[in-house]
């Protein structure tokens, strides 16, 4: 039996999201599973088409084979800072968000008076000009060994989703939390995966509609130099072991 385009594309969406038929059905408000739709036994209900558009930005015309544009966005999602503070000369400050203040940051993201209560300073270096910067205190060990709990990082504001780089580390402000992670954009759609450096932590998958701000981490402030020295020593040890293995391989080939 030939399967219509809409059913093939419906199945394609589920597979790209890496969801089971039962999980996809739950996401879309379908009883049981999506098996009957994928086999072409049941038409795609109108409320499911709406959910595909609302949750995953799927273009209904693409779904039914009448358009090549797969995704629709109601508007461009801006991630630039909602509030900035300035010093007496009118220059932007670097506002510092401690681990304690981070709990209230998402709820006060547009409250200028709340931001005025946070400490702020400026750095007279060229690396901190012509952009908006913000300091965040690291909380937890998910980015260990690169970042340690209690350290401070300074992030540069990112105002466009397209500027995200999979090789960089970011501060991601969601609707209810602040996360410091490496970002991995998915090839299609509006989802990103937040990756921890500590392998004990799994990836977090977010839709861009859940993101309020993104800051590119460009520097770190630490007050534990001994920990950094230990980390450098460990990295040197790993490098020496790598070089030793290479030498052993060369000797083995020479025999």
> Which CATH number covers residue 21?
1.10.260.40
Cα distances (angstroms) measured from residue 181 to each of 14, 99, 251: 26, 16, 41
- The answer as to whether 40 is a domain residue is yes
Q: Identify the domain containing residue 216 by its residue range.
A: 94-221
With beta carbons less than 8 A apart as the criterion, state whether 16 and 8 touch. Answer: no
Same domain, 117 and 201: yes
Cα distances (angstroms) measured from residue 70 to each of 87, 129, 186: 46, 39, 15
- The answer as to whether 48 is a domain residue is yes
Same domain, 31 and 101: no
**Would you give per-residue pLDDT tens digits along the chain (255 residues)?**
446 889 999 999 988 888 899 989 998 999 888 999 999 888 999 999 999 988 888 889 999 999 888 877 655 556 778 889 888 888 899 999 999 999 999 989 888 899 999 999 998 898 898 899 999 999 999 998 889 899 999 999 998 777 888 889 999 999 889 999 999 988 766 788 999 999 999 999 988 778 889 999 999 987 766 655 555 455 555 566 777 777 777 777 766
Same domain, 99 and 58: no
Q: Would you say the pTM of this structure is higher than 0.75? A: no
- Residue 216 sits in a domain whose CATH number is 2.10.109.10
- The answer as to whether 43 is a domain residue is yes
96 φ, ψ to 5°? -105, 120
| 3-state class (DSSP) for residue 177 | coil
Same domain, 28 and 109: no
Same domain, 27 and 122: no
Count structural domains, the chain.
Answer: 2
The total of other beta-carbon atoms located within 10 Å of residue 115's CB is 22
């Amino acid at each position: 039996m030939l399967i219509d385009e809409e059913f093939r594309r419906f199945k394609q969406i589920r597979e790209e999201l890496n969801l089971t038929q039962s999980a996809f059905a739950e996401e879309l408000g379908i009883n049981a599973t999506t098996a009957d739709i994928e086999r072409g036994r049941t038409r795609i209900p109108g409320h499911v088409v709406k959910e595909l558009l609302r949750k995953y930005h799927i273009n209904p015309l693409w779904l039914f084979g009448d358009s090549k544009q797969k995704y629709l966005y109601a508007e461009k999602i801006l991630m630039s800072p909602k509030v900035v503070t300035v010093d007496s000369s009118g220059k932007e400050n670097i506002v510092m968000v401690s681990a304690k203040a981070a709990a209230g940051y998402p709820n006060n993201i547009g409250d200028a008076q709340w931001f005025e209560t946070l400490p702020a300073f400026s750095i007279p270096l060229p690396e901190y000009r012509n952009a908006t910067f913000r300091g965040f205190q690291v909380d937890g060990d998910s980015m260990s060994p690169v970042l340690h709990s209690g350290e401070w990082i300074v992030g540069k504001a990112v105002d466009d989703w397209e500027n995200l780089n999979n090789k960089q580390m970011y501060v991601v402000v969601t609707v209810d939390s602040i996360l410091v992670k490496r970002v991995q954009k998915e090839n299609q759609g509006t989802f990103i995966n937040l990756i921890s450096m500590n392998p004990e932590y799994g990836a977090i998958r977010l839709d861009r509609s859940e993101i309020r701000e993104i800051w590119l981490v460009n520097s770190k402030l630490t007050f534990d130099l001994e920990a950094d020295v230990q980390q450098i020593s460990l990295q040197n040890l790993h490098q020496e072991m790598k070089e030793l293995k290479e030498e052993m391989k060369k000797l083995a080939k020479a025999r």
